């Protein structure tokens, strides 16, 4: 493979990071905005060079048609992107720790990621310490669903319910208290828990 220029390497790294972070590739305009390039033709030229060098492929004419190729393609499986607290919130989930291989029973696995649970606040919902939860990326939640909430850049898994002045994060363990999140607390929703993976524990 021909060597990449610095700009091509940076664009390739950005594409990979966006696929890991959001589950989808960036558009041409998003790439241009990231690198301060106003000409979509210039971005297309960089992508064409990456395609010729075997780093990416482009499928059809959709706006998000970039796929990583060859040695740059991600491993099979769902990305394990960090830890989430079932107890006290911990640092937000950003770092890729690896991949979880499984024959996914879920539709659209590209919309999924995994997190390792720390704590026992959701044990009565059968989510326990050291379990891996499978999360479907969503920016909104149905009232009462179990999901990953991020508050002031700290993440936790709880049952999420709306109140008249904010959101309640409700544990599934009587030893833990409900956390109320009022306006201005930097709340965002990372996604719904749709599965739990667990290794057998000794009796």
Q: In the annotation, is 22 catalytic?
A: no
Percent of the chain with pLDDT over 70: 76
Residues 136 and 147: their CA atoms lie apart, in Å, by 9
In terms of DSSP bridges, do strands 56-58 and 66-68 run parallel, antiparallel, or are they unpaired?
antiparallel
Please tell me which of 83-87, 113-117, 152-156, 159-163 the model is most confident about, judged by mean pLDDT. 159-163
Q: Single out the catalytic residue among 121, 138, 164, 185.
A: 121
Same-fold call for 6-70 versus 78-197: no
Fold of 78-197: Umud Fragment, subunit A (2.10.109)
Q: In the annotation, is 121 catalytic?
A: yes
Of residues 23 and 138, more confidence is placed in 138
Say what the pLDDT of residue 174 is.
95
Q: Single out the catalytic residue among 158, 164, 177, 185.
A: 158
**Right CATH number for 6-70 from 3.40.50.720, 1.10.760.10, 3.90.380.10, 1.10.10.10?**
1.10.10.10
The residues spanned by each domain of the chain are 6-70, 78-197
For the beta carbon of residue 18, count every other beta carbon within 10 angstroms.
19
């Amino acid at each position: 493979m021909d060597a990449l220029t610095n700009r091509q390497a940076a664009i390739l790294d950005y594409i990979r990071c966006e696929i890991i972070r959001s589950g989808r590739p960036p558009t041409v305009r998003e790439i241009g905005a990231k690198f301060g390039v106003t000409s979509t033709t210039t971005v297309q030229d960089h992508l064409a060079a990456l395609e010729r060098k075997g780093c990416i492929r482009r499928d059809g004419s959709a706006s998000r048609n970039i796929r990583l190729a060859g040695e740059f393609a991600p491993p099979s499986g769902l990305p394990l992107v960090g830890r989430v607290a079932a107890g006290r919130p911990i640092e937000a989930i950003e770092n890729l720790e690896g991949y979880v291989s499984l024959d996914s029973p879920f539709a659209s696995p590209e919309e999924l990621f995994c997190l390792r649970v720390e704590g026992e606040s959701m044990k009565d919902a059968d989510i326990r310490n050291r379990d891996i939860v499978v999360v479907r990326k969503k920016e909104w939640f149905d009232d009462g669903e179990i999901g990953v909430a991020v508050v002031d850049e700290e993440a936790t898994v709880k049952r999420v319910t709306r109140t008249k002045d904010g959101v309640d994060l409700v544990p599934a363990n009587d030893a833990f208290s409900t956390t109320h999140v009022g306006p201005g607390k930097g709340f965002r929703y990372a996604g719904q828990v749709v599965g739990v993976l667990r290794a057998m524990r000794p009796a």
